[in-house]
Amino acid sequence: MTTTTAPAAGAVAPRQHAPADRPSLVRLTVVELRKLVDTRAGRWLLITIGLIAAAIVTLQLIYAKDADQTFVNFFTPSLLPVGVLLPVLGILSITSEWSQRTALTTYALVPRRERVVAAKLIAVVLTALASVLASLAIAAAGTLVAGATGGAGTWRVEAALIGNAVIFQVANVLMGAAFGLLLLNPPLAIVGYLLLPTLWSVLSELVRPLRGPAGWLDTSRTMEPLFTDHLTGGQWGRLAVSLLVWLVLPMAAGLVRTLRREVS
């Protein structure tokens, strides 16, 4: 008998073990949250979002009138740039699986694709909630500085405004995710997501008959009231209709497409 061994023998023996449990949704969500920040693209996108929000507050501290330097006035303007950029993270979370072809690994490990999609949606919603907390923190820092430098520094804020901010950010990231699910291609989904609402606005300005429907379908218009602390029933209705068209429908169609698509 020779005593030579095959290279690395032993370590690759197929082990007999009880069938392992399927990964829980919590576990999959943690994986998806990690995927959001473990690449340079994702990390810088998050850092950029934070920096822009901080820059807006800084500019207000320098240029806004002292009386306008209140918590609410620091908080609301930071929502818009975050609301535009955060959905890009949602789009990348879904589409990069296909563009980077990691879907081959992801869906081989979790063949029930709807569970991966659910984990991704939960992950981006959690990110949206965290972004509202970050906006609140930055606004609070701005208010503290304003109070110390002669600005108004008023803290009064309606809880409804914060609730509306949450709706705004969550709706935006889900809209991005829906576009990602539907188009499954990063540039296409990002351009589609950023361009379509603008296109609506331009078209409804140019074409008179579109002005009526635009009030129900142009998300940049239906979401505007969310920057205040009170929405009328009509405004809620318009918001719901626009989200049905731009969020629920693309997400349903995108889900069907993602579940059926061949992974290669």
Partner 1 sequence: MITVENLTKRYGPHPAVNDVSFHCEPGTVTGFLGPNGAGKSTTMRMITGLTAPTAGRATVAGRPYRELPNPGREVGVLLDASAQHAGRTGREALTLSAYTMGLDRREVAAKLDLVGLNAVAAKRRVRAYSLGMRQRLGLAQALLGDPRVLILDEPANGLDPEGIFWMRGLLRDFADRGGTVLLSSHLLREVEAVADRLVVIGGGRIVAQGDKNELLAGGGTLVRARDGAALRRALDAANLSAADGTDGLLVQADAETVGQAAADAGVALAELRPAGSGGLEQLFLTLTAGESTKEAVR
Q: Please select the residue that binds partner 1; options are 26, 39, 133, 158, rule is CB under 8 A.
A: 39
Q: How far apart are CA 138 and CA 24, in angstroms?
A: 34
- In whole angstroms, the minimum distance from the beta carbon of 14 to partner 1 comes to 4
Smaller CB distance to partner 1: residue 18 or 206?
Answer: 18
Show the binding pattern over residues 60-99: x = contacts partner 1 (CB under 8 A), - = does not.
------------------------------------x---
* 108 or 206: CB nearest partner 1: 108
Interacting residue with partner 1 among 27, 65, 211, 230 (CB under 8 A)? 27
- Which of these ranges, 12-20, 79-87, 186-194, 239-247, lies near partner 1 under the rule CB under 8 A? 12-20
Closest CA to 246 of 176, 199, 152: 176
Distance CA(54)–CA(122), nearest Å, equals 26
Of 22-30, 73-81, 199-207, 237-245, the window that binds partner 1 (rule: CB under 8 A) is: 22-30
Nearer to partner 1, 25 or 253 (CB): 25
Q: Which of 108, 148, 159, 206 binds partner 1 (CB under 8 A)?
A: 108
Contact call for residues 167 and 85 (beta carbons, < 8 A): no
Q: What is the DSSP string of the chain?
A: ------TTTTTTPPPP-PPPPPPPHHHHHHHHHHHHHSSHHHHHHHHHHHHHHHHHHHHHHHHS-GGG--HHHHHHHHHHHHHHHHHHHHHHHHHHHHHS-THHHHHHH---HHHHHHHHHHHHHHHHHHHHHHHHHHHHHHHHHHHHTTS-------HHHHHHHHHHHHHHHHHHHHHHHHH--HHHHHHHHHHHHHHHHHHHHH-GGGHHHHHHH-HHHHSGGGGSS---HHHHHHHHHHHIIIIIHHHHHHHHHHHHSPP-
Give the footprint of partner 1 on residues 134-153 (CB under 8 A).
none
Q: Which of 20, 62, 159, 206 binds partner 1 (CB under 8 A)?
A: 20
Is 107 among the residues that bind partner 1 (CB under 8 A)?
yes
Binding residue for partner 1, selected from 25, 47, 59, 104, defined by CB under 8 A: 104
Cβ-based nearer residue to partner 1, 34 or 65 = 34
Task: State which of residues 52, 61, 84, 110 lies at the interface with partner 1 (CB under 8 A).
Answer: 110
111 vs 187, beta carbon nearer partner 1: 111
243 vs 24: CA distance, rounded Å: 30
Is residue 263 a contact residue for partner 1 (CB under 8 A)? yes
**Which spans of this chain sit near partner 1 (rule: CB under 8 A)?**
6-17, 19-23, 27-28, 30-31, 34-35, 38-41, 96, 100-105, 107-112, 260, 262-264
